[in-house]
Amino acid sequence: MDMSSREIRMPLSEVVSVLQDLNEFVVSLDRLGSRQASGTADEYTVGKFIADWDVARRLARARRVISVELDAQLSEEGNAEIDALCDQGRFYGTDNAIGPSTDRSS
């Protein structure tokens, strides 16, 4: 499937809701990274943010909002292709996701 020419329509309210969540996460994680760099935050602070701000559930909801529209607007084959592409991602705790402790690039 040529994805460059495909368009998916979503209700604007859903797009805005997902963008609000993503913006909160990007800005907050950037601020946390700056605090870690300056020594005023540690891994506990990041973990507390993830738990207190319900990051996992909110990201799962964003994924669901997009997936529902894809499922409704693409063929079964198109959805299977997108699922296969998403399965190629890097996932923490798997061999294909190199973390800071196993990074051998230097």
Which run of H or E residues covers position 33? helix 12-38
User: Cα Rg for the chain, rounded, in angstroms?
Assistant: 17
pLDDT at 3: 73
- Percent of the chain at pLDDT exceeding 70: 89
pLDDT digits (tens, 9 = 90+) for 22-41: 999 999 999 999 999 999 99
- The structure tokens 């964003």 sit at 62
Q: How confident is the model at residue 102 (pLDDT cuts 50, 70, 90)?
A: very low
Predicted TM-score (pTM) of this structure: 0.79
Higher pLDDT, 23 or 98: 23
Chain centroid, CA 6 distance in Å: 22
- The structure tokens 């799962």 sit at 60
Cα distance between residue 30 and residue 49, in whole Å: 12
Cα distance between residue 31 and residue 22, in whole Å: 14
